[in-house]
Amino acid sequence: MKQQIKKSSIEWKEVVLSEFAKCLNGFAFKSEKFNDEKKGIPLIRIRNLFNGKSETYYSGEYVKEYLVNQGDFLIGMDGEFKIFEWKSEKALLNQRVSKLLFDKEKITPKYIFYLINQKLKEIEDKTPFVTVKHISSKQIESIKIPLPFRNGHPDLETQKQIVSILEKAEQLKEKRKQAIKLLDEYVKSVFNEMFGDPSINPKKWSIKTIQEVALDKKGSIRMGPFGSQLKKHELVTEGVKVLWIENIVGNKFNPGGTKYITEEKYEQLKGFTINKGNLLITMMGTIGRVEIVPDIGKAIISSHLLKIEVNNKICDPIYLKKIIMSPFVQNQFKDASHGAIMSGLNGGIIKSTKIPLPPLPLQQTFASIVEHVEKLKEKQNKSLQEIEQLFNALMQKAFNGELVK
């Protein structure tokens, strides 16, 4: 039954998606016909929705209804429930991916694209799971959305106006994201211009190990305490901070999820103290993520982090971070970790990793450029957050029938 939400010059009604759109579930194509040699046509699986392209091709026969064209809207049926616009070449709809088919005389597809994600998230949050969450086409088609009507018929013009407003806000978001991406690319370009490709070392810088650029003292490169030294029941809600691998996300410091130990426990673990300017490296999980410790007060590291106290007389921490992030060093980490007895990195691998070491003044010049770029990125990120808040507010107004009168 249709439920009236609001009366105005436009009549808003809550409608069921199945009245205007249907889900076409993907087909279970035979895996023996899959290939990565670009024979046939690309095949869309759930993983391809996030990066927008597929490296897997299907060389067998298929029914045309399972073709996906640029601009079609797809929903992954497992994991994260989210709608995606397919922007790549023509491809095939594989099982566990659904394509929305619209009655375009009644509905503007992009209108559904903007409004449905919030509803999908609500279903996802309520869905129980053991390993992976699943959604059905019936659940998708049962989603209720607000729809503008005029003279008893769906109002396509109002839908298009709402889409236009939301598209402009989204374009602003993308411009900010692109600006941030360009700043990152600029730093990479400056690094290569000043120092050259580390794997080739065209400028013939001296080669040092990470051990050689750390302070010449015991414990300058050190992993966090073993599990037996710091047990879960010893963690408290306030006191001295304990950092975990979750605090290093995408080579950035994430202050969230902090746990603590008492001052008494800290006295036992003083050797694992970290200070502003130290480098932290993740040793398990996504190995080799790296960040410089900001000013966070008294803190120690946990078992899957490693700290480096850098010798600032020969090596700038910002340069060391960037060289560790480079494929040259990351490949050394990967090669060494594959040969290790235990999975992941260890202190010996880090200490023996080789890096080119340019003159300190050149490193410092590069570091000052990076610091300036980071300030610009901070402004762009703040602007992006404000735009996202605006976008979310506009979305809420659209849901409430308040965006267009």
For 29-71, the pLDDT digits (tens) are 999 999 999 999 999 999 999 999 999 999 999 999 999 999 9
Dihedral angle sign, alpha carbons of residues 310, 316, 317, 321: negative
Q: Which one of 2-11, 183-192, 387-396 scores highest in mean pLDDT?
A: 183-192
pLDDT at residue number 14: 94
% pLDDT > 90, the chain: 86
Instruction: Kindly report the number of other CB atoms within 10 A of residue 289's CB atom.
Output: 20
- Kindly state whether residues 336 and 396 are assigned to the same domain: no
Residue 120 has pLDDT above 70, yes or no: yes
Average pLDDT over residues 292-316: 96
**Banded model confidence at residue 320, pLDDT cuts 50, 70, 90:** very high
Q: Tell me if 286 is assigned to some domain.
A: yes
Q: 81: which residues sit within 8 A by CB, 6+ positions away?
A: 75, 120, 121, 123, 124, 127, 133, 135
What is the reported pLDDT for 68? 98
Residue 172 belongs to a domain: yes
One domain, residues 121 and 187: no
Q: Are residues 258 and 399 in the same domain?
A: no
pLDDT over 70 for what percent of the chain? 96
Q: How far apart are CA 301 and CA 222, in angstroms?
A: 9
> Within this chain, do residues 283 and 336 fall inside the same structural domain, yes or no?
yes
* Residues 335, 305: Cα–Cα separation, whole Å: 19
Three-state SS string over the chain comes to CCEEEECCCCEEEEEEHHHCEEEEECECCCHHHEECCCCCEEEECHHHHHHCCCCCEECCCCCHHHEECCCCEEEECECCCCEEECCCCCEEEECCEEEEEECCCCCCHHHHHHHHHHHHHHHHHHCCCCCCCECCHHHHHCCEEEEEEECCEECHHHHHHHHHHHHHHHHHHHHHHHHHHHHHHHHHHHHHHHHCCCCCCCCCCEEEEHHHHECCCCCCEEECCCCCCCCHHHCECCCEEEECHHHEECCEECCCCCEEECHHHHHHCHHHEECCCCEEEECCCCCCCEEECCCCCCEEECCCEEEECECCCCCCHHHHHHHHHCHHHHHHHHHHHHCCCCCCCCHHHHHHCEEEECCHHHHHHHHHHHHHHHHHHHHHHHHHHHHHHHHHHHHHHHHCCCCCC
Express each pLDDT in 206-239 by its tens digit. Answer: 999 999 999 999 999 999 998 889 998 899 999 9
pLDDT bucket at 341, cuts 50 / 70 / 90: low
184 and 239 co-located in one domain: no
What average pLDDT does range 120-134 have in this prediction? Answer: 90
| pLDDT value at residue 131 | 81
Same domain, 334 and 239: yes
Residue 342 lies in a domain: yes
Q: Tell whether 201 is covered by a domain.
A: no
Please give the mean pLDDT across all residues of the chain. Answer: 93
pLDDT at 249 over 90: no
The residue behind tokens 């996030």 is 50
Phi and psi at residue 259, to the nearest 5°: -115, 170
Confidence of residue 1 (pLDDT cuts 50, 70, 90): very low
CB neighbourhood size of 226 (10 A): 8
Q: In DSSP terms, which residues pair with 310 in a beta bridge?
A: 214
Query: Among the listed ranges 79-88, 227-236, 317-326, which one has the minimum average pLDDT value?
Result: 227-236
Domain for residue 189, yes or no? yes
- The model carries a pTM of 0.78
Q: Do both 169 and 147 map to the same domain?
A: no
Residue written as token pair 């410092």: 364
Q: pLDDT value at position 142?
A: 97
**Could you tell me if 349 and 399 lie in one domain?**
no
State the CATH number of the domain containing residue 11.
3.90.220.20
Give the pLDDT mean for 343-362: 95
Helix axes 360-399, 109-126, angle to 10 degrees: 100
Tens-digit pLDDT profile for residues 365-389: 999 999 999 999 999 999 999 999 9
Q: What is the pLDDT of residue 255?
A: 82
Grade residue 254 by pLDDT with cuts at 50, 70 and 90: confident
**With 50 as the cut, is the pLDDT of residue 3 above it?**
yes
Query: Average of pLDDT values for 170-191?
Result: 96
Q: How many whole angstroms separate alpha carbon 277 and alpha carbon 323?
A: 16
Instruction: Identify whether residues 385 and 403 lie together within a single domain.
Output: yes
Three-point CA angle 271, 275, 281, nearest 5°? 80
Domain count, the chain: 3
Q: Which of 153, 185, 217 is the last residue of a domain?
A: 153
Of 10, 244, 28, the residue nearest 150 (C-alpha): 10
Same domain, 269 and 256: yes
pLDDT of 7 over the 50 cut: no
Average pLDDT in the 325-333 region? 96
User: Do residues 112 and 185 share a domain?
Assistant: no
Burial of 290 (0-12, 13-18, 19+ CB in 10 A): buried
Looking at the domain assignment, is residue 74 inside a domain?
yes
Cα gap 48→62, rounded to integer Å: 19
Mean pLDDT of 101-108: 96
Q: Is the same domain home to 379 and 337?
A: no
Q: What are phi and psi of 192, to 5 degrees?
A: -65, -35
Provide the residue range defining the domain that includes 76: 3-153
